[in-house]
């Protein structure tokens, strides 16, 4: 097929726009969307230190490349890559992430569940079984990313979440009937490094293509425990539906944002956890998980 804009060979067909795009027009379209998201949300300001949650996979790799390209000539904004090793055998290699960050001359910090919590995801599964492995891992990973980013002086934490991720999250909250999460807006929280998501309006397959065109390879492996997560079922359901309704993911993300705006004034009271010092609600879920796993409570 030929590019709809210049008639060169196309590398992508966007089903939601009806456009075939060549390499050059795809990259321009991709980067324009990410820049628009940053601009509209005012996610980057002079003086920022942006920590990128960098697993080394396609989404975080593409995000690090994009932000480096966007900000490398600015002296008033700096980048930092943070890799969290969850302790899953054969899944995470922090040396690979460190090498990729070094290629871009970006400082890299590694953190691990074992050092921070005294256990790993493999250890948690061994003790508690795999049914809730993704829930436990997600809570502890977010906790550790925030703590490391804050301790490194980061003013923003960039996440590689794409349109598919965001739409799945909204649908999961709907299926759970989780009104609190649906109405929870982006509130500044003391102790929490503000999150930014430049790829939140870009489909996963386009993020993968962007990564491939710049890095030559795409890491598509999923966590060996991911089949236990509700997200896996929701992903399959949404992929099937979106094949016939290409705008479905965009509609879900827009719904989530509108509901978050409606609930923008309803922010629960947060406090510092007396055990770990991180911000939490009435109870600290991270400490609850660690108590269950390590102390048997």
Q: Select the more confidently predicted residue: 82 or 296.
A: 82
Q: Select the more confidently predicted residue: 35 or 276.
A: 35
Residue 160 has pLDDT above 80, yes or no: yes
What is the band of 188 on the pLDDT scale with cuts at 50, 70, 90?
A: confident
Where is average pLDDT lowest: 221-225, 242-246, 271-275?
221-225
Half-sphere exposure of 209 (CA within 13 A, CB side): 21
Q: What is the pLDDT of residue 181?
A: 84
The 8-class DSSP code of residue 4 comes to T
What does the pLDDT look like over 68-122, one tens digit per residue? 999 998 999 999 999 999 999 888 888 889 999 999 999 999 999 999 999 999 9
In the predicted model, what is the mean pLDDT of residues 278-289?
A: 84
What does the pLDDT look like over 226-241, one tens digit per residue? 877 888 899 999 999 9
Which residue, among 61, 29, 27, 31, has the nearest Cα to 217 in the 3D structure? 61
For the chain, the average pLDDT equals: 90
Q: What is the pLDDT of residue 220?
A: 61
Residue 297 has pLDDT above 90, yes or no: no
217 dihedral zone (left: phi>0; alpha: psi -120 to 50; beta): beta
Which pair of structure tokens corresponds to residue 204?
Answer: 């996963």
The H or E element that residue 49 is part of is strand 49-53
In the predicted model, what is the mean pLDDT of residues 211-238?
A: 82
Domains, the chain, with CATH or none: 1-33 (no CATH), 43-268 (3.40.50.620)
- Rounded to the nearest 10 degrees, the angle between the axes of helix 58-71 and helix 23-41 is 80
* CA 51 – CA 239 distance, rounded (Å): 31
The burial of 219, by beta-carbon neighbours within 10 Å (0-12 exposed, 13-18 middle, 19 or more buried), is given as middle
* CA 109 – CA 67 distance, rounded (Å): 17
Q: What is the pTM of this model?
A: 0.92
Q: What is the pLDDT of residue 93?
A: 82
Residue 164 has pLDDT above 90, yes or no: yes
């Amino acid at each position: 097929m030929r590019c709809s804009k210049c008639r060169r060979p196309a590398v992508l067909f966007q089903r939601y726009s009806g456009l075939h795009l060549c390499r050059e027009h795809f990259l321009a379209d991709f980067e324009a969307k990410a820049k628009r998201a940053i601009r509209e949300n005012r996610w980057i300001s002079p003086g920022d230190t942006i920590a990128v949650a960098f697993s080394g996979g396609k989404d975080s790799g593409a995000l690090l490349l994009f932000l480096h390209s966007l900000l490398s000539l600015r002296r008033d904004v700096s980048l930092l890559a943070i890799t969290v090793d969850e302790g899953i055998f054969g899944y995470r290699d922090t040396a690979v992430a460190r090498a990729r960050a070094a290629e871009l001359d970006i400082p890299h910090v590694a953190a691990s569940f074992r050092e921070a919590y005294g256990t790993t995801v493999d250890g948690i599964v061994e003790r508690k079984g795999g049914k809730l492995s993704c829930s436990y891992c997600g809570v502890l990973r977010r906790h550790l990313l925030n703590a490391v980013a804050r301790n490194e002086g980061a003013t923003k934490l960039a996440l590689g979440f794409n349109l598919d991720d965001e739409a799945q999250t909204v649908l999961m909250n709907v299926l759970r009937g989780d009104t609190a999460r649906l109405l929870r807006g982006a509130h500044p929280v003391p102790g929490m490094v503000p999150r930014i998501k430049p790829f939140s309006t870009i489909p996963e397959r386009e993020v993968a293509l962007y990564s491939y065109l710049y890095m030559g390879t795409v890491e598509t492996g999923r966590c060996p425990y991911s089949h236990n997560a509700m997200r896996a079922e929701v992903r399959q359901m949404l992929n099937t539906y979106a094949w016939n309704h290409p705008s479905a993911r965009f509609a879900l993300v827009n719904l989530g944002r509108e509901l978050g705006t409606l609930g923008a004034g309803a922010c629960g009271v947060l406090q510092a956890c007396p055990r770990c010092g991180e911000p939490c609600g009435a109870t600290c879920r991270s400490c609850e998980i660690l108590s269950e796993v390590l102390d048997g409570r």
